Structure 1
């Protein structure tokens, strides 16, 4: 039997994952997932572990629905209020998308700039300012917050186990930053799924997830693997048209609740 064995959200894009026992789904994916983002202070360009591996040491946790608690080694914790309707809007860029979103203020900017060693700002995206998902794979009106391109990412535990065997050492699931982990399926079975049901919720699997150099970072230490694993191994058998794929991007068919251990049904 297939079941939901892992459930993760990332309140701040590229910061430490938050494991969950249950989660609500809203119009942008898991409630509270990737609603905050760090951007370059001058350009507004998004910043991630690809450029700043020390973001693997950055913790961000919701305090209710109105505050974010930031933590990092050598730094005092900082509570950041959800920007209000009067907050300054900042122009930001994430991949090819440009949008105007609320800035979280100077105190958060100073805190992050000190820890990351470069001038940056913290921004937050309300649902009304979220991005349209690529309409080549989604419907008009399907929205995403600050995730790279899609509201949800699913990986099969069997796929990670197979990759670990090929690499020759156990690999952490959080290298791949999924929201949902499903166990009980054959390796890469998720590649052939088109629709699944978890509890009362249906999901469309719309596109494989292309992987980058971030997968070579130890999610706990931030150190980059000198052997470029697991990306090097993935390139040997999971590459097509110049991209390396591992995991599947999803769009939920509605709002609701997910609980660890829920059965997963493949509809199509």
Structure 2
């Protein structure tokens, strides 16, 4: 088994970017979901309610992020890695309230204009701590602005299995994994408890319950019924549709596309 793909989503709920290599930190892969759009009340914004967020692609540059509209490529903005203000605001991700650093008022205006709703881009500094739920923690692990866990792993075989059941196949980007594995059976990842990639050890915490975001076409921003409708027929458990496995890391390091994946337990 090998690592087929590595993805990060620097700005929560916007388009992700594929990497050949990435540093592994407790909070997640380097730069993964370290930025987030919030409304005027500080509440996080996602494609669940605002499907057009799917149309904003985020890429890494040497100096920071470049955000570009997928349908209107001339609409783009560069965002440096370091926020350009020293102002903070309280922001909310589900039940967690943490401090987010305001990036730049001009950046806020760009996003507000392009999404047609008032919003602010905030960054999570290193000293901002957001803990994962205690029942899943080993060493008081923390997480970035991701929904619940630092890492999401899915096997290519699991997606292939799903696509065989769909009239129109869906790409992996619908499920926003960090690590995609090849060379195993469909849903084999459901039974892994501990795995090693390079020098990094990962522990499975829980299956990932899927929401309506998976039904938003990432190239058009249009919401449909699939793949949730089909997944609910064979991946339903306790009224939750499960696809992919959430992980925490027990050892920091670096992972690369092509790395061997060893299941320890």
TM-score scaled by length of structure 2: 0.94
Q: How far does the alpha carbon of each residue in 1:62-86 deviate from its partner, in whole angstroms, 9 at most, with x for none?
A: 333x6332222265432223226x6
Check conservation: 1:159, 1:187, Cα contact below 8 A: yes
**Corresponding residue to 2:44 among 46, 62, 65:** 46
Q: Distance in 1 between matches of 2:75 and 2:47?
A: 21
1:83 maps to what in 2? 83
2:244 maps to what in 1? 247
Check conservation: 1:197, 1:266, Cα contact below 8 A: yes
2:121 maps to what in 1? 122
Check conservation: 2:26, 2:248, Cα contact below 8 A: no
**Corresponding residue to 2:53 among 35, 44, 55:** 55
Q: Distance in 2 between matches of 1:109 and 1:169?
A: 36
Check conservation: 1:132, 1:140, Cα contact below 8 A: no
2:16 maps to what in 1? 17
Q: Distance in 2 between matches of 1:199 and 1:254?
A: 10
How far is the alpha carbon of 1:254 from its aligned partner? 1.9
Matching of residue 266 in structure 1 with residue 259 in structure 2: no
Check conservation: 1:75, 1:115, Cα contact below 8 A: no
Count of residues paired in the alignment: 262
Superposed, 1:162-241 pairs within 5 Å as 162-225=161-224, 228-241=225-238
Check conservation: 2:132, 2:143, Cα contact below 8 A: yes
Superposed, 1:141-152 pairs within 5 Å as 141-152=140-151
Check conservation: 1:108, 1:122, Cα contact below 8 A: yes
Check conservation: 2:12, 2:145, Cα contact below 8 A: yes
Q: Give structure 2 stretches of 5+ with no counterpart.
A: none
2:24 partner SS:
strand
2:45 partner SS:
coil
User: Alpha carbon RMSD of aligned pairs, Å?
Assistant: 1.5
2:184 partner SS:
coil
Q: Distance in 1 between matches of 2:99 and 2:22?
A: 28
2:59 partner SS:
strand
Q: Distance in 2 between matches of 1:224 and 1:140?
A: 39
How far is the alpha carbon of 1:169 from its aligned partner? 3.2
Q: Distance in 2 between matches of 1:38 and 1:167?
A: 32
Q: Distance in 2 between matches of 1:206 and 1:22?
A: 23
2:201 partner SS:
strand
Q: Distance in 2 between matches of 1:116 and 1:135?
A: 36
Q: How far does the alpha carbon of each residue in 1:204-261 deviate from its partner, in whole angstroms, 9 at most, with x for none?
A: 0111000000111112221112xx1110111111111121110000111122111111
1:150 partner SS:
coil
How far is the alpha carbon of 1:52 from its aligned partner? 1.1
Q: Distance in 1 between matches of 2:33 and 2:75?
A: 22
1:80 partner SS:
strand
